């Protein structure tokens, strides 16, 4: 083999190694409920990621003949069996599976995006004030990266087509937002503007699907947002994995309820909307509580509210019509032609964001508002208004 071919094969093998490590991290973040155990497992994966990069040099040193590190990896791909053979095979399987998922998960008849507006909140705020938009005390170097979209907000209006939608609920509007991840790095003015946009949408139902607070001292920010949202209507919520990391979940839950937000965590309720009975059920697994067993009554429209899209199987099993989720942030970084890479889910990047159908259940996954790490590339923060319609009303 020529040196060029060997180097290309080596890069393919190393990419397979990276793919194995990324898949492990995605699934650990999606499946492990205990945060301390999650960190331990992730550190083990990071260690293996480093060892995998060192492995070619170790095998070169152990070899009886004079070889280069890239020759070691290349030979495992064309002649000898070894770790990089399996890692590359995994990469190929993942790529094929991802292409198949994109084909299988397409459901263009189930939804349509009708309007998109992009707000450059950080730029607008900087023009209005001489103060720094991002507080100096909380500034992260990630905020200085060119192309970072954390200071923007994409307001989307989408129509969801549900054959089983009762006629009385035709045109029902739902505001769905998720993953506020309030830390203080993204300033309060951003969340004030978010609240302005939610109020302007004026949907009949408002749902917040978890990961609200990361820094307990910023709890008053949550109360301020909730107080404004509930001036005219109820806001339903569930908590997410970040909401329990500092033992703050009970205080956070109490603060939201005190501002008249409706807690759906591990419970359900039947509400009257336009004279039609609707089931609203919340599930905070695998991090909090238990799954409520509440199948809809005959011809009753049912909405499941969860944090992670991994619960789509639960929603389908319960025969829910609509499932609202967040958690995945759309991947936060989307590579052109590839899409997201990192996504905290047992399904990898499959349900990073968008609309998916499983049986009768239609799931909407929000890209979320923020993240613990203030970085967004080709993946703007998202606020969505969903309008429900029957397919025959398209």
- Token match 């084909």: residue? 103
How many CA atoms does the CB half-sphere of 94 hold within 13 Å? 22
Domains and CATH numbers, the chain: 3-104 (no CATH), 109-393 (3.60.21.10)
- Between 133-142, 242-251, 273-282, 361-370, the lowest mean confidence (pLDDT) is in 133-142
pLDDT band with cut points at 50, 70 and 90 for residue 29: very high
Summarize the confidence of residues 342-349 as an average pLDDT.
95
Q: How far apart are CA 230 and CA 190, in angstroms?
A: 18
* CB-based contacts of 114, cutoff 8 Å, min separation 6: 157, 158, 159, 387
Q: How far apart are CA 94 and CA 161, in angstroms?
A: 31
Predicted model pTM = 0.94
| pLDDT at residue 293 in the model | 86
- Calculate the CA 251 to chain-centre distance: 24
Flag whether pLDDT at 346 surpasses 90.
yes
Summarize the confidence of residues 233-250 as an average pLDDT.
93
- Token match 């699934």: residue? 27
* CB-based contacts of 255, cutoff 8 Å, min separation 6: 219, 222, 223, 226
3-state secondary structure of 337: coil
| pLDDT at residue 232 in the model | 83
Summarize the confidence of residues 260-286 as an average pLDDT.
96
pLDDT band with cut points at 50, 70 and 90 for residue 120: very high
Q: How far apart are CA 87 and CA 23, in angstroms?
A: 11
Task: Report the share of the chain in percent with pLDDT over 70.
Answer: 97
Summarize the confidence of residues 68-94 as an average pLDDT.
92
Q: Where is pLDDT greater, at 124 or 316?
A: 316
């Amino acid at each position: 083999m020529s040196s060029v071919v060997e180097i290309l094969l080596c890069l393919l093998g190393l990419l397979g190694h990276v793919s194995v490590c990324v898949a492990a991290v995605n699934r650990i973040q999606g499946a492990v409920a205990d945060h301390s155990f999650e960190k331990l497992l992730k550190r083990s994966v990071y260690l293996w990621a480093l060892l995998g990069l060192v492995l070619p040099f170790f095998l070169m040193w152990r070899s009886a003949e004079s070889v280069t590190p890239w020759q070691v990896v290349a030979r495992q791909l064309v002649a000898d069996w070894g770790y990089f053979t399996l890692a590359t095979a995994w990469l190929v399987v993942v790529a094929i599976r991802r292409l198949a998922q994109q084909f299988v998960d397409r459901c263009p008849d189930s939804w349509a995006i009708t309007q998109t507006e992009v707000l450059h909140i950080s730029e607008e705020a900087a023009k209005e004030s001489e103060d720094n938009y991002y507080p100096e005390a909380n500034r992260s170097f990630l905020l200085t990266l060119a192309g970072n979209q954390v200071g923007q907000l994409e307001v989307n209006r989408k129509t969801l087509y549900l054959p089983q939608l009762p006629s009385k609920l035709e045109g029902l509007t739902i505001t769905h937002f998720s993953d506020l991840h309030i830390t203080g790095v993204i300033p309060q003015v951003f969340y004030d503007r978010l609240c302005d946009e939610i109020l302007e949408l004026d949907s009949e139902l408002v749902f917040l699907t978890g990961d609200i607070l990361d820094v307990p001292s910023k709890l008053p920010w949550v109360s301020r947002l909730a107080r404004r949202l509930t001036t005219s209507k109820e806001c339903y919520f569930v908590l997410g994995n970040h909401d329990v990391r500092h033992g703050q979940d009970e205080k956070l839950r109490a603060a939201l309820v005190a501002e008249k937000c409706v807690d759906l965590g591990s419970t359900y309720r039947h509400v009257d909307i336009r004279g039609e009975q609707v089931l609203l059920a919340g599930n905070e697994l695998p991090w909090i509580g238990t799954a409520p067993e509440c199948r809809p009554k005959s011809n009753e429209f049912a909405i499941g509210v969860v944090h992670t899209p991994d619960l789509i199987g639960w929603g389908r099993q319960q025969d829910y019509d609509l499932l609202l989720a967040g958690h995945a942030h759309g991947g936060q970084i989307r590579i052109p032609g590839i899409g997201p890479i990192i996504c905290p889910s047992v399904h990898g990047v499959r349900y990073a964001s968008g609309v998916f159908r499983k049986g009768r259940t239609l799931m909407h996954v929000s890209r979320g508002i923020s993240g613990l790490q203030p970085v967004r590339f080709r993946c703007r923060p998202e606020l969505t208004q969903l309008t429900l319609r029957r397919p025959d009303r398209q």
